[in-house]
Structure formats: C-alpha cells, structure tokens
C-alpha cells in the first residue's frame, strides 16, 4: 500500500524527519500539526486577537513546530536517526526553549508556571537521555511513562493564567520529554 512506502528525506531535513519516512508518517505529522494549531488558535482567539499581529503569527508558527515535532519524534524515521546521533540528541534537548518564547509572545502575567513546566521538561528529557545509554536502558520506556504521567499532572496543577499556554506546555512536554527522549523502536 502506498501509505507505507518510505520516502528518502533530503539531507537538510534529516534533523526533522530522519533519513526515511513513510508517506503515512509525513501525512500524520502535517495533519496533526495543522489541525491542532488551528484548534489552539480557535480556543485562544479572544486573547490572541488582542496581541500584536506579529506576536500571534510568530507564536502560532512556534506552536505548529511543537505540534509537528510531537508526532515526528514518534515516527521510526526520526526515532532511528536520533538513536544513532547522541551528540545531536543533547543539542536537540538544549535548544528547546519554545514554550518560554511562546509565553513571552503571549504576554502572560506570570512566568512561574511556564518556567516550572520547562524545567521539568528539560530535566526529564535529560534524565531519560542519560538512562538510554546506561546499564538500565531496558527500563527507559517504563520510567518515561511514569514521568509522562507525573509531568502532565504537574502541568495541570500549576497556576496558569492562560489555557492555551497550558495546553502548549503539555504538548511541549510530551514532545521533548517523551516522544523525543524515548527509543520507541528498540
């Protein structure tokens, strides 16, 4: 079936899609990222329409990237690419400030919830990345599932002034701390 056919990915996009991706995976990435971003735009339109237009556009492009990466990191192509690139794994984790930038663009009143959720995300991603290369690597998926549950509970109980930012923080957590940091195809 044509949906399961692999496509060779151009070199400039390897960090996003890996070396190869199935047609189904690419369609899933684009469908989820576009639909979820439109849904968040709809949910947050009351406050987003009050922001400067450039802030709304930049924020939603970053949200689109978060949403696309959440699905891409679950795919075999992206997963396999990063499993063989430990240095790139650390670079990926270290450059993920997206949710902090979105909070600034959203002009939130308090940054405490977003900073706590970001620290939790990067801490869990780092711990799982270390666990992957340790003698306990076989436990990575279970530890990651525990961390996923606890992290989402943490994000739910923090005092957020903005529902859309809270949802974005949850998606960001899943993207970085779970879908990227876990070897799903070992």
Residue 185 falls within a domain, yes or no?
no
Residue 162 falls within a domain, yes or no?
yes
Q: What is the pLDDT of residues 10-39, one digit of tens each?
A: 999 998 899 999 999 999 999 999 999 999
Total of domains in the chain:
1
Q: What is the pLDDT of residues 127-171, one digit of tens each?
A: 999 998 877 788 999 999 999 999 999 999 999 999 999 999 999
Q: CA 101, 107, 110 angle in degrees (round to 5)? A: 90
Distance CA 34, CA 64 (A): 7
| Residue 180 reports pLDDT greater than 90 | yes
Residue 90 falls within a domain, yes or no?
yes
pTM: 0.95
Range of the domain at 84: 2-180
**Can you give the pLDDT at residue 39?**
98
Residues 118-122: contacts with CB under 8 Å, at least 24 apart:
118/169, 118/172, 120/151, 120/154, 120/155, 120/173, 120/177, 121/96, 121/151, 121/172, 121/173, 121/176, 121/177, 122/93, 122/96, 122/176
**Can you give the pLDDT at residue 4?**
87
**Can you give the pLDDT at residue 104?**
97
Residue 186 falls within a domain, yes or no?
no
Residue 9 falls within a domain, yes or no?
yes
């Amino acid at each position: 079936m044509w949906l399961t056919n692999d496509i060779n990915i151009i070199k400039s996009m390897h960090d996003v899609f890996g070396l190869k991706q199935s047609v189904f995976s690419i369609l899933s990435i684009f469908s989820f990222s576009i639909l979820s971003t439109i849904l968040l735009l709809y949910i947050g339109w009351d406050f987003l329409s009050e922001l400067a237009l450039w802030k709304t556009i930049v924020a939603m492009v970053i949200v689109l990237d978060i949403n696309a990466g959440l699905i891409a990191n679950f795919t075999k192509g992206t997963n396999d690419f990063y499993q063989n690139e430990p240095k790139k794994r650390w670079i990926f984790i270290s450059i993920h400030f997206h949710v902090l930038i979105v909070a600034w663009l959203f002009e939130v009143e308090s940054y405490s919830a977003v900073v706590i959720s970001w620290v939790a995300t990067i801490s869990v991603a780092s711990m799982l990345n270390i666990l992957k290369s340790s003698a306990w690597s076989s436990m990575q998926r279970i530890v990651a599932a525990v961390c996923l549950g606890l992290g989402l509970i943490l994000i739910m109980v923090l005092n957020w002034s903005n529902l859309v930012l809270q949802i974005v923080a949850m998606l960001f957590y899943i993207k970085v701390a779970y879908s990227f940091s876990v070897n799903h195809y070992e």
